[in-house]
Structure 1
Amino acid sequence: MNKFLHAGIIASATVILDQLTKYTIQSSLPLWSSKTIIPNFFNLVHAVNKGAAFGFLNRADITWQRGFFIVITLIALGVIYYLIKSMNKIYKVQVTALSLLLGGAVGNLIDRILFGQVTDFLDFYIGNYHWPAFNVADIALTVGAFMMIIAVYINKNDGSDNITN
């Protein structure tokens, strides 16, 4: 399969799943409310975040986050495109990883452009200790980043050079 087709399918599926799940939460759960799914472990919540991972720059007293994160995301999308284009062979793990990064970035970019903030809804916790709420795009970004790390490590050990012309 063509590497751009492979990337497009995975990224598109990621964006669609991300946007559908966010829409479902936005239309069924009032903002800042939660619904217990597994007591003392998992809730569905309707939260928003103007910042980045772990609430970085999620502050009401600054107003430049939206533009900043849109520009950073557009730069990242360009880098991802360049990396996919630069691969001289089809490496499914790397293309899949980059596709997940692409889909996750676009999913959260849509929220930033439309709403100025990202909708989060998955809330895992033990007792009073909560992991920051996240969404499908965040999962794709995390899985894609770990896949890239693993792929780079594996390729480093087998002597291959797959991101050069």
Structure 2
Amino acid sequence: MRQRKRIVLALFTILLCVGFDQITKGIAAEHLSRGRELSFAGDVIRFSYSENEGAVFSFEYYLPEKWHGEIAGAASALLVGAIVAFLLFGPGLRPLPALALSLFCGGSVSNLLDRMVFGGNVVDFIIVTWGGFRSWTFNVADAAIVSGLTLLIPSIIWRMLRSGQRGGRGGDPPAESRKMT
């Protein structure tokens, strides 16, 4: 994928994720009073307002106490910044991994904005249920992060399989098949 197209894809996806996430969080905060749930699609989708203090799916709670807050936020910001720099200026990426990393970064940036700029807590409001399954409460940013990672895994596997078929070095034939001249 050409660098200009990759930059446009990355910036558009990141801005779309941040914008849509922030708008939906604002609507949830304004229209869902605490304790009130709305149910749709036969109770498969529920909207219920909550605030998360501990990173995506409360991941921060699994870290040592001294790493909570600013340290976890700074580490997350550094990681996301490095991925964004790679997306914008790194070597060529195929469209699927570029989209996957852009979704991951868009969701991460939006949640980081909530934590580091807008007061510390992230608004979560979506719950998915199916039979006995009940998801964590999440938001659009969390969905973008998980979607990005879900898209990235098959693209990595596909790349590894294709690389292995070509001799393991991005298209170079295996050494034993090269003719000596």
Q: Same fold (TM over 0.5)?
A: yes
User: Relative to 1, partners in 2 of residues 1:42 and 1:77: Cα closer, same or farther, differing over 3 Å?
Assistant: same
Q: Is the 8 A contact 1:104 1:137 kept in 2?
A: yes
Partner Cα separation in structure 2 for residue 78 and residue 4 of structure 1: 14
> Deviation per CA, 1:119-159, whole angstroms, max 9, x where unpaired?
11101124675211101101110111111111111111111
Change (3 A) 1:127 1:5: closer
Which of 119, 133, 136 in structure 2 is aligned with 1:115?
Answer: 119
**Structure 1's 63 and 116: CA in aligned 2 closer, same or farther, altered over 3 A?**
farther
Q: Does 1:93 align with 2:84?
A: no
- Give the number of equivalent residue pairs: 158
- Taking structure 2 as the reference length, what is the TM-score of the superposition? 0.77
State the alpha-carbon separation in 1 of the partners of residues 133 and 155 from structure 2.
33
1:36 aligned to which of 28, 34, 39: 39
Q: 1:51 aligns with which of 47, 51, 54?
A: 54
The AA in structure 2 aligned to 1:156 is: M
Residue type of the partner of 1:25?
Answer: A
Q: Is the 8 A contact 1:49 1:118 kept in 2?
A: yes
Q: Distance in 2 between matches of 1:22 and 1:33?
A: 15
Instruction: Using structure 1 for the length normalisation, give the TM-score.
Output: 0.84
Unaligned ranges ≥5, structure 1 = none
Identity of aligned residues (%): 25
What is the match of residue 125 of structure 1?
129
Change in CA separation of 1:47 and 1:127 when aligned onto 2, cut-off 3 Å:
farther
Unaligned runs of 5+ in 2: 164-168, 171-181
Asked if structure 2 preserves the Cα contact closer than 8 Å seen for 1:14 and 1:100, the reply is: yes
- Give the equivalent residue in structure 2 for 1:17: 20
Residues 81-115 of structure 1: per-residue CA shift (max 9 Å, x gap): 2432222x341111111110110011101111212
Q: 1:32/1:128 Cα in 2 relative to 1: closer, same or farther (>3 Å)?
A: farther
Give the 3-state SS of the residue equivalent to 2:69 in structure 1: helix
